[in-house]
Amino acid sequence: MRLIGTDRARSTAPGEAPGEAPGIASGRVARVSRPARARVARAARAAAAVLVAAPLLSACSAESLPRLGMPFPVTNQGPRILLLWQASWLTALIVGGIVWGLIIWAVIFHRRKHPDDPLPKQTRYNLPIEVFYTVVPLIVVSVFFFYTARDEAKITAVKPNPDVRVQVNAFQWSWQFQYLDENVEVTGTPGHLPTLVLPKGESVEFLLHSEDVIHSFWVPAFLFKMDVIPGRDNKFEVVPEKVGEYAGKCAELCGAYHSEMLFNVKIVEPADYQKYIAGLKARSAQ
């Protein structure tokens, strides 16, 4: 038996059998045309080139780019850290611009014009697009990994004979700075902040030591911090390049008075540094 009125006429596309779903002809899945695949491939190559070149392009004008919340660097390794930070933001903005641009383009130019408009041709597979959104994230992560690993190796490198060696002893809840080559030290308390005096233009090696819990030695103007771990002495090296006074703090929650674990850093000319060390020696001899 056949019910009258249940059959509806529908136009068929060339090569499509009557009754088949739109976009499927003789059991075959609709495919994207070669020009469309070529356009997607070109877009993928262009996006990948931009993502790879972003850190290189920013290297030419790092000083002219905004610091994006970072303080002005005062050591030799600061500009390298700042450049990595700026390049990361630049890459993120490029990726975000591409994504939002594609979303807005689709919303504006491919929206349904009228409620009675039929659904567009449905495509189950699009190999170029699938390759695009798989390869591009891998490229982004690989580029980030390369530059981060390269810069980390250079930043944490320590020379065999630094000009000044300072052992940083962290304890609850203050700091002690020992000038190892001069055999003098400065010890602070939560109520009396110690001052770390450093010479401008000379390499300074920091040896980080803790007797109680994990602390973190952080001078924001250095754009760098390192954990101070009991049983494991870490070290790093910087060359102070800008005379001035800067704040330092513990960046690891270490107990009830963690917020009071502060210190000062003072970068001075080499002659003033020698006078300061001589004053420390005179006071310790009394």
Same domain for 150 and 45: yes
With cut-offs at 50, 70 and 90, classify the pLDDT of residue 8. very low
Amino acid letter at 59?
Answer: A
Q: Please report the pLDDT score of residue 43 as a whole number.
A: 53
Amino acid letter at 271?
Answer: A
* Number of domains comprising the chain: 2
Same domain for 138 and 227: no
Flag whether 79 is in a domain: yes
Same domain for 145 and 52: yes
Same domain for 258 and 173: yes
Q: Please report the pLDDT score of residue 117 as a whole number.
A: 82
pLDDT digits (tens, 9 = 90+) for 178-202: 999 999 999 999 889 999 999 999 9
pLDDT digits (tens, 9 = 90+) for 68-78: 778 888 999 98
Flag whether 1 is in a domain: no
Please list the residues that pair with 235 across neighbouring strands.
207
Distance, C-alpha 4 to centroid of its chain: 68
Same domain for 109 and 77: yes
What average pLDDT is seen over the chain?
A: 82
Among 169, 191, 193, 189, CA closest to 179 = 169
Flag whether 27 is in a domain: no
Tell me how many helices (H) and strands (E) the chain has. 4, 12
Flag whether 238 is in a domain: yes
Flag whether 40 is in a domain: yes
Q: What is the mean pLDDT of residues 62-71?
A: 70
Domain finish residue from 106, 133, 155: 155
Contact 164, 200 (CB under 8 A): no
Q: Which two tokens stand for residue 235?
A: 């070290």
Contact 231, 222 (CB under 8 A): no
Same domain for 93 and 168: no
Close Cβ partners of 161 (under 8 Å, ≥ 6 residues apart): none
Flag whether 16 is in a domain: no
Flag whether 9 is in a domain: no
Q: Could you give the angle at which helices 78-109 and 127-155 cross, rounded to 10 degrees?
A: 170
Global pTM value: 0.70
Same domain for 149 and 41: yes
Same domain for 149 and 169: no
Q: Residue 77: give the domain boundaries.
A: 33-114+122-155
Same domain for 46 and 147: yes
Amino acid letter at 174?
Answer: S
Flag whether 235 is in a domain: yes
pLDDT at 6 > cutoff 50: no
Same domain for 141 and 58: yes
